[in-house]
Structure 1
Amino acid sequence: MTSETPPDLLFHDVEVDGVRTDVVVQHGHVVAVEPGLVAGSAQATVVDGAGGALIPGLHDHHLHLLATAAALTSLDLSAAGAAWSTQVRQAVPDASGWVRAVGHHDPGLDGLDRWMLDRVRDDVPVRVQHRGGALWSLNSKAVNLLPPPGTHGEHDGVERDDNGTRTGRVWRRDDLIRQAGGSALPDLSLLQERLRSLGITGVTDASPDLDPTAVAHLSMSLSTGSSRLRLLLLSSEIPPGFDRAGVGPRKIVLHDHEMPDPEAVRDAIAASHEAGRAVALHSVSRTSLVLALWALASAGSMAGDRIEHGSVVPPELADWIADLGVRVVTQPSLVRDRGDDYLDTVDPHDRDHLYPYSRLLAKGVKVAPSSDAPYGDLDPWAAMRAGRDRLSSRGRRVGADEGISVQLMLRGFLSRLEDPGGAPRGIAVGAPADLCLLRAPLDKALAECSADIVRATWVGGR
């Protein structure tokens, strides 16, 4: 955050911990919580809460800021189905001259590559992202703009056929596509405004491969302006001397399409721990979770180590997570948004173990909710409803895990960025003024459980 002095604030008649009271904020921190307070200066801004709850701002513990901002201006194929090709064919290229499409998922089409895309459109560069976020498919015009094979910047992630020809399928290499001119770093202002409107005041960017330019762009964008946010980074590489945002665990991705060597994962964990940094292990399958837990057990777990997603967690692996003292950052909204696909496609022996939450809490595991935006719904209130109901979009029950109350899930959204799933933050003297004012008392707000209940947010009193 910048050194600008935030305004003094007096929140009059707000509900805090079930009691109607007043709250004074000075220099970006709460300085008093009691009824009958008056503003500390003539310049103080008075906010009449009208009995609405004042709570700490919510934290999204896993999302991808650059991808989410870019998705706001991309062609959305998530509901297109087999008609995706028509939409791509008719799309107007963006300012870079490319067609950028996201959310592709056509069950009838396997292995979308450059030649398939060329038949759809070959007049401009086209990039289509699978809804899971890891895979881009490029047409030939786009492939030919990538750095030549063997030049700086190309290594794992660019798929080739048996003849060594690039197939157009690129795994987790947004940096290469940016070099090709497929996108500049997006403006984050609209996304920041959207996050603040949802009651969110802090975010954890879970992208593992941010370069120094992207790190600087994120930190500068989020630490200035009226829609600033608290930021924690999981990127593998952080520039020396970086101090504009928090640095969290080091993200390590376990690719299911190309599972890494277990000993290499163990060594990477050990090296990160030796440098004083915990790890965040991406796991979306039973196999990758076994690998992650074996590697953590072999290297020795560290406070702050976490599993990202925990898409499939059978009871015996939940016990192992608990024994290691590892936390889980998961995405309840995916139960609703992709539940039908999961039930139709996952191995039968995994169907009862999809995205558990209450089961992990019962074993003493710290669990925190998140969005995984843009690959999941950005709205935390929708995530709370999905975690409570455990129903797919077609009304089918997903997994054997019991639903979790919105009150418990809110506690996860209120946990600190540095301690996902830990104790919830509160409105107390000395606390940073990262605040969310609701339009109603908390019980009524949680019964409604809609983003419409959010009235305004403040970060550091701004």
Structure 2
Amino acid sequence: MLIRGAAIHRHGTGDLRIDGGIIAAIGDLAPRPGEAVVEARGGALLPGLHDHHIHLAALAVRAASVECGPPAIRDRDDLARALSRPGTGWLRGFGLCESVLDGELPDAAALDRMVPDRPVRLQHRTGRMWLLNSAALDALLASSTPPPGLERIGGRFTGRLFDEDAWLQGALAAAPPGLAAISHDLARFGLTGVTDMSPRNDPLIARHFACEISAGQLTQRLVVAGGLSLADAPCSGWRLGPAKLHLHEAALPDFDAACAWIAQAHAQGRGVAVHCVTEVELVFTLALFETAGARRGDRIEHASIVPADLAARMAALDLQACVQPHFVHRNGDRYLRDVEPHHHKNLYRLASLRRAGITLAGGSDAPYGSGDPWQAIRAAVLRSTLAGTPFTPDEALSPEDALALYLADPMDLSRQRRVTVGEAADLCLLGRPWHEARTRLSSADVRLTVVSGRIVHQSVDEPPFERLARCEAPT
């Protein structure tokens, strides 16, 4: 395949040839006989974007679920209407926020009043809790022993289920979902690779991922983070990522046991990625690495709250950070309302972390955030809330630095992937030059997505004679 007349990232205007899934040549190139040609018309040709923190299975099941939180759902009446969907089987909701119900978490009785005649499970916006109605409790407990995380008050199950996703999946006898639809959506955004960061990832889900890749259902390159047992799984079409330690401030693990776990991960040749969304979790994590030792590739996921002194400790340990800039845009109005002003400067830092020498990469946290990386890139540049209120604007990045969050090599975040001869042909072609695209930062500008020389997305507005058959274009 020949991409002709592109504004090639860090090269200038030229042509690029793909052969055997590799970038074979860059320059002023003549088409070969029978070679497929894409006329770029001066559009920016970028390395394909990589989402460094995503949850594929959860994203796949969300399409069949009911949204239960802001901004779509604002109050109790909105929630009741959303849950009135007709049907008799399980009803799954996501994104429930206490603000919808005047600061309360519903119990089974409260959900029964909204949905009395079918089993309902609603996932809290944090992803850590499920809320069940009575029909759901009856269905789950008919064949499964109640787990420790199922809250009981006064001898009665409340329907609140904490940190028991594995139990819930087993009780539902749920098979992992297909990934074709979400892979198609991710390709529309110019994403050529993802890192699945689900902490419970094990050889079983890795086998499912391998099957989806082999069947052509998941077209992005895949890095799988998760438990220590992943090191024993055959890497069939995917690469082994960091070991994931998911902390919860209210139930921190034994310190010595956590240090031993980090040592085991390092012995496997893996970095460790630690979920940190509170200051306490970050302090605990830094103490872990200061005691157990840090190695290249250790990283902080989210880095939601980072006071300046903790940023300095992160830098001293050479820890990297995977950030979600779009959370400031989506949740910033709530932060401004609910968080004390003197804490605002510590929320979702960007520019100051870079100045401290900390390597940054971008991840969506989808489905808990939008899977569109361009929304996050734009949010990192604008640094404002949904209402348009500036939020610590000194933390904003330039469009180029924001884009770089998604061009990092998933196996070495300190390395930026480039469009260069010999590299894998994982590419994102925009419909306009970068000097225009940088003012828009919109996935609507993605015209072509190529993974290993294979077209996985092409805009539908191309003239017919220029459109190539998806997945069948010669390379």
Q: With structure 2 as the length reference, what TM-score do the two structures score?
A: 0.88
Q: CA deviation at 1:84?
A: 4.3
1:349-388 to structure 2, matched below 5 A, reads 349-388=342-381
Q: What is the rounded CA distance, in whole Å, between the counterparts of 1:178 and 1:135 in structure 2? A: 13
1:19-418 to structure 2, matched below 5 A, reads 19-39=12-32, 42-78=33-69, 79-82=72-75, 83-93=77-87, 97-107=89-99, 108-146=102-140, 158-163=149-154, 165-181=156-172, 183-225=174-216, 228-236=219-227, 237-238=229-230, 239-399=232-392, 401-418=394-411
CA contact 2:375–2:442 (8 Å) conserved in 1: yes
Q: What is the rounded CA distance, in whole Å, between the counterparts of 1:141 and 1:300 in structure 2? A: 49
Q: What is the rounded CA distance, in whole Å, between the counterparts of 1:188 and 1:433 in structure 2? A: 22
Q: What is the rounded CA distance, in whole Å, between the counterparts of 1:234 and 1:163 in structure 2? A: 40
**What are the superposed Cα offsets for residues 262-296 of structure 1, whole Å, 9 maximum, x if unpaired?**
33322221221223221110000111110111111
Provide the residue aligned with 1:425 in structure 2: 417
Equivalent position amino acid for 2:60 in 1:
A
**What are the superposed Cα offsets for residues 343-385 of structure 1, whole Å, 9 maximum, x if unpaired?**
2223554222100011110011001111111111211111111
CA contact 1:18–1:442 (8 Å) conserved in 2: no
Query: Which of 177-186 and 319-328 deviates more?
Result: 177-186
SS at match of 1:81: coil
Unaligned runs of 5+ residues in structure 1 are 1-8
CA shift in 2, pair 1:125/1:257, >3 Å: farther
SS at match of 1:203: strand
Provide the residue aligned with 2:458 in structure 1: none
Q: CA deviation at 1:57?
A: 0.4
Q: With structure 1 as the length reference, what TM-score do the two structures score?
A: 0.91
Unaligned runs of 5+ residues in structure 2 are 455-475
Q: Report the identity percentage.
A: 36
CA contact 2:180–2:217 (8 Å) conserved in 1: no
**What are the superposed Cα offsets for residues 58-92 of structure 1, whole Å, 9 maximum, x if unpaired?**
00100111111111221112321213441354123
Task: Figure out how many residues of one structure are paired with residues of the other and give that number.
Answer: 446
CA shift in 2, pair 1:102/1:120, >3 Å: same
Q: What is the rounded CA distance, in whole Å, between the counterparts of 1:299 and 1:87 in structure 2? A: 51
CA shift in 2, pair 1:243/1:448, >3 Å: same
Q: What is the rounded CA distance, in whole Å, between the counterparts of 2:147 and 2:411 in structure 1? A: 32
CA contact 2:196–2:225 (8 Å) conserved in 1: yes
**What are the superposed Cα offsets for residues 301-339 of structure 1, whole Å, 9 maximum, x if unpaired?**
011101000000010000000000000001000000011
Equivalent position amino acid for 2:372 in 1:
D
Q: What is the rounded CA distance, in whole Å, between the counterparts of 1:261 and 1:166 in structure 2? A: 28
**What are the superposed Cα offsets for residues 91-123 of structure 1, whole Å, 9 maximum, x if unpaired?**
2348xx100111111311323332322232232
Q: What is the rounded CA distance, in whole Å, between the counterparts of 1:240 and 1:225 in structure 2? A: 20
Root mean square deviation, CA, Å: 2.2
CA contact 1:113–1:138 (8 Å) conserved in 2: yes
Equivalent position amino acid for 1:176 in 2:
W
Equivalent position amino acid for 1:431 in 2:
E
CA contact 1:352–1:401 (8 Å) conserved in 2: no
**What are the superposed Cα offsets for residues 184-212 of structure 1, whole Å, 9 maximum, x if unpaired?**
42221111111000010000111111344
| Runs of 4+ residues deviating >6 angstroms | none
**What are the superposed Cα offsets for residues 199-235 of structure 1, whole Å, 9 maximum, x if unpaired?**
1000011111134432222232245427601011112
Q: What is the rounded CA distance, in whole Å, between the counterparts of 1:80 and 1:184 in structure 2? A: 29
CA contact 1:62–1:206 (8 Å) conserved in 2: yes
Q: What is the rounded CA distance, in whole Å, between the counterparts of 1:343 and 1:278 in structure 2? A: 35
Query: Which of 181-190 and 199-208 deviates more?
Result: 181-190
CA contact 2:98–2:105 (8 Å) conserved in 1: no
CA shift in 2, pair 1:171/1:210, >3 Å: farther
SS at match of 1:161: strand
